[in-house]
Amino acid sequence: MPEGWVNVFDVQREAERKLEPGPRGYFSGGAGDEVTLRESVGAWQGWRLRPRMLTGVEAPSTAAEVLGKPLPVPLLVAPVAYQRLLHPEGEKAMARAAAAVGTVMCLSTLANATPADVAAAAPGGRHWFQLYPFRDGGVTRALMAEAVGAGFEAVVLTVDAPPGGSRERDVRSGFTIPGAVEIPSVAAALGGSRTVTVAETFDLMDLTLTWDDVAGIAADAGAPLFVKGVVTAEDAALALEHGVAGIIVSNHGGRQLDRCVTTAEALPEIVEAVARRVPVLVDGGIRRGVDICVALALGADAVLVGRPAAWGLAADGAAGAEWVLRTLTRELELALALIGVATPAELGPEHLRSAGPTRVYSGAEVSGSSSF
């Protein structure tokens, strides 16, 4: 363990120290006043666990299952763009970290590495591909085909962007992605690599998509299709009607619509609407093993983490990202033992009590975290 690291917030502070202001603001920031960014962490803290005693559980298992495939832990790596701005090895290092833990890494459309690059860097790893459909449908189809051809197990269609949210930290810092840090998908759409802003990348995407288009993408994907960015029961129902294989409850880490509902608040209604017909995953604000327990007890099949894994990558490359994933796994294992269940699947609503809504409109930071 790196000296002084005890939890993911320690890794966060190390990453904050190492990153330049522009990338630091991009990876840590949210939309508008960043209310949703702050509340996404605090909302998980708004639940209290109800442990049971003398259950005879000696050594809980963290094993889980998604899409009929086993996972050693119900914890996946969320898609994070531009990872070479965090570490020179970028997504390749993140893929190795996920593979070392045995879990799935979801590769962003806006990655600095291709699906083939990632598959080669972690040949024993498991990967999903996050998709932003481009205005140029040929680019979109080529991206999906390359990912599936490289062995990626699922396609994750993000539906809450574009357009990009009002990310004021990026405006203040003048954040850009240098042309030397190539984004292969953007280079394909532009016909070459050059320095771009986040807004310019989103300008390349198709803003006209409807649920009927989702059905078409599901038919063309060549792999199970998840939709990511759903926060209402109504949209969950529409997703099911249009052929998705799974739903990821997400508010884009508070980076899109400020004052959007948090995922901890949205998850129960979506779980009820889906009624176990497809897997429901959730991301946003997961910082502790007990957060994972809350999400699973609310009905999620697994969670994804983006910023914590990114902090690990920035702080210490693949080793740092792996440390974050293993630390969250250890915290989950301990929490399961203290709650008195043998597996994540045994968690349910009976293990929870609401502590009331958590609100941070005043701008105060969540306890234990820093600005990054």
- Give how far Cα 305 sits from Cα of 74, 123, 130, Å: 11, 22, 14
CA–CA dist 164, 202 (Å, integer): 6
CA–CA dist 2, 17 (Å, integer): 15
Tokens of 58: 């000696």
Q: Which residues contact 219 (CB under 8 A, 6 or more apart)?
A: 243
Considering only CA atoms, which of 298, 367, 362, 260 is closest in space to residue 48?
Answer: 298
- Give how far Cα 222 sits from Cα of 65, 137, 210, Å: 21, 16, 20
Considering only CA atoms, which of 72, 3, 33 is closest in space to residue 255?
Answer: 33
Residue 340: Cβ within 10 Å count: 17
Residue 312: Cβ within 10 Å count: 33
Instruction: Give catalytic status of residue 252 as yes or no.
Output: yes
Residue 162 preceded by cis peptide, ω within 30: yes
Cα dihedral: 228, 231, 235, 240 (round 10): 50
Q: Which of 87, 127, 242, 252 is catalytic?
A: 252
Q: Mind telling me the catalytic residues?
A: 252
